[in-house]
Structure 1
Amino acid sequence: MAFPQQVRIVEVGPRDGLQNEPGPIIPTEIKVELINRLSAAGIRHIEAASFVSPKWVPQMGDAAAVMAGIKRHPGVTYSALTPNVKGLEGAMAANTEEVAVFAAASEAFSQKNINCSIAESLARFVPLIEQARAADIRVRGYVSTVLGCPYQGEIDPAQVAAVSRELIDMGCHEVSLGDTTGAGTPLKAKQMLAEVTKAIPVQQLAAHFHDTYGQALANLYAVLEEGIAVIDSSTAGLGGCPYAKGASGNVATEDVLYLLQGMNIETGIDLQAVVQTGHWITRELGRHNGSKVAQAWGECSR
């Protein structure tokens, strides 16, 4: 299959990137400015918040205030993670047009992460998805540990396909395939995708690859070659997974954009603006910028 001519970037930095940030709670105005800068750079899908219990995810406790504070650009989707019906109701009250639900391809990871089996987690989503669709809110599904689990090891691609198919059948318009530990390699990524696309058209799939082992860009190239045209990424490589030992951040949006530009694949995004945004947010957080492109270009990007 040929490479896609255009790729949609789903920017997950404001949610996946910030939710596990240690230290003090990040001010709402910083989150709002991050989202506004990203949409001004041309990113058309931003995962902006997570409607979860502040007890469990303190950094996302101001989700409603963030959604109320952002400047909404026409044509930009501002989505939120909603793990349960209560979260969905919060997202609906905040005028969220798309929500996301999470499942795992690993039984062990599901138990460690949300204290229930895969089947139980999927069953919990049924009323949420029904309620969302009744309100004309799109639902996106995530499947984690698609290329390996920190507790279970290798994951059968058929299991990834089965969970992904269930999410589509329940009403998700798209499923994002997550390499939670970043342990995947290009061949494994291709093999996994080959199995999943027996059950779901590639047009309904996205890649959400972490860069723990430095393989994310290679893995993305491999699945782009197979027709994937939606990529999740995080500005400055922010984020990680608290349930996966050693799992560093998501692949950096800047690095993905540089790759796609070099392949003449359109994104509609201003790479320089994203680089500048990555430098700004990492200064605000007092942390290292995980983007190789941002490091190479420096503060005075071209």
Structure 2
Amino acid sequence: MTGVELFEGQRARMFGIAYRMLGSAAEAEDVVQDAFLRWHGADHAKIETPSAWLTKVVTNLCLTRLSSARVRREQYVGPWLPEPVPTAGGALGPLETVEQRELVSLGMLVVLERLTPPERAVFVLREAFGHQHREIAEILEIDEAHARQLYSRARRHVTEARRRFPADRAQHEAIVRRFLAATMQGDVAGLERLLAEDVVSWADGGGKITAARRPIVGKAKVLRYLLGFQRRPELKEVSAEIVEVNGQPAWVLRWKWVTAVFVPELDGERVTALRLIINPDKVWAVTNRRPA
């Protein structure tokens, strides 16, 4: 097997690690490309386990990017949300269990933003890819006790912030479809039944598309926000479909040159969070048109 073939055999796994680490499909692709350049220049005869070597390279490239990403995101216009990735085709690996789907959900990626870069690396490698603490310590070049401490802190932070993730995929999609229909039709009673009292809505336009620059908090305010959307005259020209994004059903709304991804987060049968990604630089994985 050639060096290129060995690398391509690991590409999907490397993208999965980088995306979970960075929350950005574009940056994850760039990391994989950087890893290829390093692989191309390496002496393959001295690499005993290519998968382990590439995992270490990708993880450390992500750690470098995370350090500078925090500064950029502090200067971001409005709320920063992860880039949505369609997952029905297996882009992020198998998502057959509740745990697998939760670990790539937008809600989880937002929670992971609160971790330090080393905590995030340890959590992703352990929870999503099943690495042992000894292996993680070797990847990060720290001792095993430190790796365990980082994982313990990361898991505690995640546990405190996570909500119950829907176990029944069919029921989850049925609720999302009802919610979409109620929103598009301006069904006040239907929306009131579906929205949780403490629901929060975030919109990420990145300063490029008009969007709310602060979270909208509470059932009454979110209801007004959704009804305002429904009253807009261009709604008649909007096409809407349900697509699996980050392991969960989401709306993809298209109007002229604008594409928006609207992801409802559920707790039981109530919508507890709404995440609208409308920044054109962030929906490229859905539109298959990466920005120049």
TM-score, normalization: structure 2? 0.30
The answer to which structure has the higher helix fraction is 2
Over alpha carbons, which structure has the higher Rg? 2
